[in-house]
Chain A
Amino acid sequence: MKEITILSGKGGTGKTSITAALASVAEHAVLCDSDVDAADLHLLLHPQKKEEYTFSGGWIVQIDQAKCSLCKTCLELCRYGAIHYSRDGQLEINPFQCEGCRLCEKKCPANAITSIRNNNNYWYVSETRFGIMVHAKMSPGEENSGKLVSRIRIRAREIATDDNLQYIINDGPPGIGCTAISSLTGSHAVLMVTEPTKSGLHNLKRLVELIAGFSIPAYAVINKYDIDLELSSEIESYLKDNTIPLLEKIPFTPDVIKAMIEGKTITEYKPDSEITKCIKKIWEMIK
Chain B
Amino acid sequence: MPFKIAIASGKGGTGKTTFAVNLYWFLANKYSSSIKLVDCDVEEPNDIIFFPEAEIKEEKVVFQDIPEIVLKQCTFCRKCAEYCEFNAIVVIPPARFAEVNKSLCHSCGACLEACNDNAIKEKKEPIGSINYYRINRGNGIKEGILKIGSVMQTMMIRELKKSVSSNNEIIIFDAPPGTSCPVVETVADADYVILVTEPTPFGLYDLQLSVDLLNDMKKPFGVIINKAGMGDDQVYNYLKEEGLTLLGEIPFSREYAVKYAKGELLNDIPDIIDENFRIIAGELENRLIQYEGNNYFKW
Contacts and interface: CB of A to CB of B under 8 A. Distances in A.
Nearest to B215: A140
B108 interface: yes
Nearest to B234: A261
Interface in B142-177: 146, 148-151, 153-154, 158, 176-177
B273 interface: no
A100 B86 CA distance: 9
Contacts of A261: 200-201, 231-232
Contacts of B182: 177
A94 interface: yes
B282 interface: no
B83 interface: yes
- Category for how many chain A residues contact B: 35 or more
B213 interface: yes
B10 A37 contact: yes
B209 A174 contact: no
Contacts of B149: 181, 210, 213
Nearest to A203: B44
Contact of A9 (B14, B44, B85): B44
Interface string B272-299: 0000000000000000000000000001
B265 to A, nearest CB: 10
A228 interface: yes
Task: Specify the main secondary structure of chain A where it touches its partner.
Answer: loop
A196 B44 contact: no
Nearest to B112: A103
Contact of B146 (A100, A176, A198): A176
Contacts of B85: 59, 100-102
A257 B231 CA distance: 6
B179 A141 contact: yes
Given A210-B148, A257-B231, A261-B231, A99 B108 contact: yes
Given A10-B46, A99-B106, 17 more contacts: A10-B44, A11-B177, A38-B12, A43-B205, A80-B158, A97-B185, A97-B299, A138-B180, A140-B209, A141-B213, A174-B43, A174-B177, A175-B41, A180-B43, A199-B263, A202-B46, A263-B201
30 contacts: A8-B12, A38-B177, A40-B201, A77-B109, A80-B158, A84-B299, A94-B188, A96-B188, A103-B83, A103-B109, A106-B83, A106-B110, A140-B179, A141-B181, A141-B217, A143-B154, A146-B151, A173-B178, A174-B12, A174-B13, A174-B43, A175-B43, A177-B43, A178-B151, A197-B263, A199-B263, A206-B43, A213-B149, A227-B257, A257-B231
Interface of A: 8-13, 16, 37-38, 40, 43, 59, 77, 79-80, 84, 94, 96-97, 99-103, 106-107, 138, 140-143, 145-146, 173-181, 195-199, 202-203, 206, 209-210, 213, 227-228, 230-231, 254, 257, 260-261, 263
Interface of B: 10-14, 17, 41-44, 46, 49, 83, 85-86, 106-110, 113, 146, 148-151, 153-154, 158, 176-185, 188, 200-202, 205-206, 209, 212-213, 216-217, 230-232, 254, 257-258, 260-263, 299
